[in-house]
Structure 1
Amino acid sequence: MRYPPGHKAKTREKILEAAGRVFRRQGYHATGVDGVMEEAGLTAGGFYAHFASKQALLAELFEYFRGQFNIKADDQATRTDVRKDLDAFVTRYLGDVHLQKIEEGCPLAALLSEVCRSDDSVKKGFEAMVLDFQRLATTQGPDGQPAFNEEQALATLALCVGGIGLARSVQDGELAGKILESCKQAAQSILDRGETPGFKAKPERKSTA
Structure 2
Amino acid sequence: MMIIMRKSTMNARAAAKDATHERIVSVAARAIRRSGYDGTGVADIMKEAGLTHGAFYSHFASREAMLAEAATKACAESAAAAADVVAKQPPGTAMAAMLDAYLSKAHVENVEQGCPLAALGSETSRQAPEVRRVATRHIKEMIDLVARQSPDWGQPGAHERALVTLSTMVGALLLARAVDDPGLSDGLREAALRHLLAPTH
User: TM-score, with normalisation over the residues of structure 2?
Assistant: 0.81
Give 1:86's aligned amino acid.
Answer: M
> Is 1:109 aligned to 2:105, yes or no?
no
CA distance in 1 between counterparts of 2:116 and 2:66 reads 14
The match for 1:165 is: 174
Corresponding position of 1:48: 57
Tell me the matched-pair count. Answer: 187
Change (3 A) 1:51 1:83: farther
| Residue matched to 2:3 | none
**Residue 184 of structure 2 is aligned with which of 172, 175, 195?**
175
Work out the CA distance in 1 between the residues paired with 2:149 and 2:114: 28
User: Aligned to 1:23, which of 8, 18, 32?
Assistant: 32
1:146 is aligned, of 131, 140, 153, to: 153
In the alignment, structure 1 segments of 5+ residues that lack a partner are: 196-209
Please list the CA deviations of residues 93-122 of structure 1 after superposition, one character each: whole Å capped at 9, or x if unmatched: 111111111112111111112212112211
**2:30 and 2:74 in contact (8 A); partners too:** no
Cα pair 1:71 1:133 within 8 Å, conserved: no
| The 10-residue stretch of structure 1 (50-59 or 152-161) with the greater mean CA deviation from structure 2 | 50-59
Alignment counterpart, residue 39 of structure 1, candidates 30, 43, 48: 48
- Tell me which protein shows more helix as a share of its residues: 2
Give the conservation status (yes or no) of the 8 Å contact 2:32–2:70. Answer: no
1:100 to 89, 106, 109: 109
What is the alpha-carbon distance in structure 2 between the residues aligned to residue 137 and residue 46 of structure 1?
41
Q: CA RMSD in A?
A: 2.8
Contact 2:146 2:166 in 1 (8 A): no
Question: Residues 116 and 124 from structure 1, CA distance in 2 versus in 1: closer, same or farther, beyond 3 angstroms?
Answer: same
Alignment gaps of 5+ in structure 2: 1-8
Query: What is the deviation of 1:70?
Result: 4.7
Distance 2:74 2:94 in 1: 19
Does the 8 A contact of 2:24 with 2:49 survive in 1? yes
**CA contact 1:62–1:129 (8 Å) conserved in 2:** no
In the TM superposition, what is the alpha-carbon distance from 1:34 to its structure 2 partner? 0.5
Deviations 1:19-56 (CA, angstroms, capped at 9, x unpaired) = 01111112220121001111211111111111122221
